[in-house]
Structure 1
């Protein structure tokens, strides 16, 4: 993932920022698929369950740092 992010941003393949962002994104995914997160989503009312993972990711990304959301976003 870090190689892809580096390529998207024009950085070298071992760019430390790309590696850090990749690690954070992978951590968010692992946390989202954790037993605790699945239990939290499952405990919500049925009508709210579909939106719960996206809300969880948004909140987690904000906690990690506001700059992560805008990193390597394609503008075209």
Structure 2
């Protein structure tokens, strides 16, 4: 599929397909957490390709950006009230 990601590698861009292990390394979360997020529907967008769960790099980047935006909004709201 793709080369093995290391924690210090920047997330890839575009439509490159990433395995759940590669995504776990990028977001520094255990595989079980990614599986749980997938179950809840709260994690990065993923889909099945045959028997494998894969993630598009662009979808992962969008999800990471959304998490940062939500965190910034929560911090701003707590400062106001």
Which structure has more relative contact order (CA 8 Å, sep 6+)? It is: 2
Which structure shows the higher strand fraction? 2
Q: TM-score, normalised by structure 2?
A: 0.33
Instruction: Provide the TM-score with structure 1 as the length reference.
Output: 0.35
When Rg is computed on C-alpha atoms for both structures, the one with the higher figure is 1
